[in-house]
Amino acid sequence: MKRTPLIAGNWKMYKTGPEAVKTAQTLAGLCSDVQNVDIMIAPTNLSLPLVSRAVEDTNITTGAQNIYSESQGAFTGEVSAEMVRAAGAEYVIIGHSERRQYFGETDESVCKKIRAALRAGLKPVLCIGESLEERESEKTFLVLDKQVSDGLKGFVLDELDTLVLAYEPVWAIGTGKTADVNQVDEVHQHLRSLLKRLFSDKTAEQTRILYGGSVKPENVTELMGIEDVDGALVGGASLDADIFINIINF
Ligand code: PGA
């Protein structure tokens, strides 16, 4: 099965509404000829409706960076899957390591948010990754297996048709350090066989597994050359349209 690559930009807590719209419009102009690559940008929730509208008739889609698991209610400060869907998002990033690290996200809350995303018709991008300490003590696979199996606990096969996995070693995020080709290759192969074991051949075959962590124009070609790498989740290098386009054109 051929998987369409997905290049996703995670804009984190950067850019005001007008700044986000401007970058999105510049990017739309630069990538209008791109084919056979899915492009997604995830601005802040505040900019999401503005950016979604700005890219409506282009080949760019949008995503949210987080959601809460309930559809509505007395949950001050939170935003639901249905709300970001209505704001134009097609995807939602769930369980990013910064959310796990700074905002108490757990595999259990991740699992509920994946359920919420699917309920609202959003495509979930489930982020997983080991810390430097976990890698050095050879716990990488143990950590990833737990994040995947607990994050996807209780799902049945067909529910996961739109799932995207993003492997982001915590030590490579925003640090300029990228995992080397062998490390990425090894983990992505492992994740695909894990999906096969937990779900089915079909789930394993169709799930796009992205790599994230200091992806830039200089290393994207090598990373995308790895068989089981189906795209990239890009932070810093997605903020500037003139740089991000060079990643999209890997
Ligand atoms: P980075 O971030 O590309 O700046 O390392 C990646 C991410 O956090 O998704």
Q: Which domains does the chain have, with CATH numbers?
A: 6-248 (3.20.20.70)
Which residues, including other chains, have CB under 8 Å from residue 214's CB and lie 6 or more apart? 172, 173, 174, 175, 176, 177, 178, 236, 237
- How far is residue 188's CA from residue 174's CA, in Å, rounded to a whole number? 20
12: CA distance to ligand 1 center in Å? 9
Against a cut of 0.95, is the pTM above it?
yes
Contact at 8 Å (CB) between 144 and 167? yes
Identify the residue whose C-alpha is closest to ligand 1 atom 6. 235
Residue 188 a catalytic site member: no
| Nearest atom, ligand 1, residue 234 CA | 3
Q: Are 82 and 63 in contact (CB under 8 A)?
A: no
User: pLDDT tens, position by position, for the chain (250 residues)?
Assistant: 789 999 999 999 999 999 999 999 999 999 999 999 999 999 999 999 999 999 999 999 999 999 999 999 999 999 999 999 999 999 999 999 999 999 999 999 999 999 999 999 999 999 999 999 999 999 999 999 999 999 999 998 889 999 999 999 999 988 888 889 999 999 999 999 999 999 999 999 999 999 999 999 999 999 999 999 999 999 999 999 999 999 999 9
Catalytic residue among 96, 98, 130, 188: 96
96 included as an active-site residue: yes
The DSSP code sequence of 182-207 is HHHHHHHHHHHHHHHHHT-HHHHHH-
